[in-house]
Amino acid sequence: MSATSLPHPHAEKREFAFAERDFRRICQLIHDRAGIALVDSKRDMVYGRLSRRLRALGLDSFGDYLDRLERQPEGEEWQAFTNALTTNLTSFFREPHHFDTLRGQLQQIDRGARGTVLLWSCAASTGEEPYSIAITACEAFGTLTPPVRILATDIDTQVLETARRGVYPVERVAALDADLRRRFFQRGTGPNDGRCRVHPALQALVEFRPLNLLAPRYDVGGPFDAIFCRNVMIYFDKPTQRAILSRLVTHMDAGSQLYTGHSENYLHAADLIQPCGRTLYRRNFGTPAG
């Protein structure tokens, strides 16, 4: 018996048969659709999350589910499939040094003719990142109505719903400074005990929209003064990262900053972006012809 045909350790307990070829097919489909390169260690996660879809649709096998998906390339199930397979881990002020840098950047920006500072969180997940950007903007300008627009996008429509609602378990904000919590979050009472919601002034600064970074072009306008593209490229292979970066830079000008995740490395894209700080990049406009 070859290693690949060994039964999975949990196979006997499973409600649905989950063969190696099912997993491989899923890997290919999510890679083509969202760029996500699933690793073998995600097998149980994939089984668990997609089993719910099989149950919801009353299907008995992964094969039937995947056939159905492929038969309807524009069908609604694709969104549910994608939502099920994304990893949405995030937190308020994750990688806090970025928000210190952003604050300094905002205080120095020459708003010029445009008047409004444009910021983009392009893998916004459940909203903690764009709301942290919004709080930073309020702090930088000393007002709840700073001259800032924040676009927050993600491929996962379910996390965007949570983000739009702006309601979180209080534990999500427990580590934040008490004064900041008091000014930017409203604590729920009665049936909302244990929850808090972001100040409506923050919600007013952010527009949430679905966007797949794999799309051939991004209909988002710009140029943006800052783009937060953090902890999403780690799920993509290098050619996909390059393709995404080559589109992102078209939404940056000479003053724009690209904020990236702590474990993302772009040495392979030095022709597109150049480091200008800790996990911070500027667009590389190339050396002018001499």
Binding residues for ligand SAM, rule: CB under 6 A, are 34-36, 86-90, 94, 123, 125, 129, 154-156, 159, 212-214, 230-232, 235, 261
154 is catalytic: yes
Give CA–CA dist 99/53, Å, rounded. Answer: 38
Give CA–CA dist 195/24, Å, rounded. Answer: 40
Q: For residue 253, give every residue at least 6 positions away whose Cβ sits within 8 Å of its Cβ, in sequence order, or none.
A: 223, 283
Residue number, 184 or 235, with CB nearest to ligand SAM: 235
Residue number, 105 or 231, with CB nearest to ligand SAM: 231
CB of 170 vs ligand SAM, minimal distance in Å = 19
CB of 240 vs ligand SAM, minimal distance in Å = 9
Catalytic, out of 49, 149, 197, 242: 49
Burial class (CB in 10 A: 0-12, 13-18, 19+), 8: middle
Q: Estimate the share of the chain in helix, then strand, then coil, as percent rounded to the nearest 5.
A: 45, 20, 35
CA dihedral 247, 250, 253, 254 (to 10 degrees): 70
Q: For residue 232, give every residue at least 6 positions away whose Cβ sits within 8 Å of its Cβ, in sequence order, or none.
A: 122, 123, 213, 261
Residue number, 125 or 203, with CB nearest to ligand SAM: 125
CB of 244 vs ligand SAM, minimal distance in Å = 8
- Whether the link from the prior residue into 73 is cis, omega within 30° of 0, is no
Catalytic, out of 22, 25, 154, 283: 154
CB of 82 vs ligand SAM, minimal distance in Å = 8
CB of 112 vs ligand SAM, minimal distance in Å = 28
Transcribe 210-242 into DSSP letters: E--TTSSS------EEEEEE-SSGGGS-HHHHH
Residue number, 19 or 234, with CB nearest to ligand SAM: 234
Residue 121 forms beta bridges with which residues?
A: 152, 228
Helices (H), 128-262: 128-141, 157-165, 178-184, 200-203, 238-248
100 is catalytic: no
Residue number, 37 or 201, with CB nearest to ligand SAM: 37
Active site residues: 49, 154
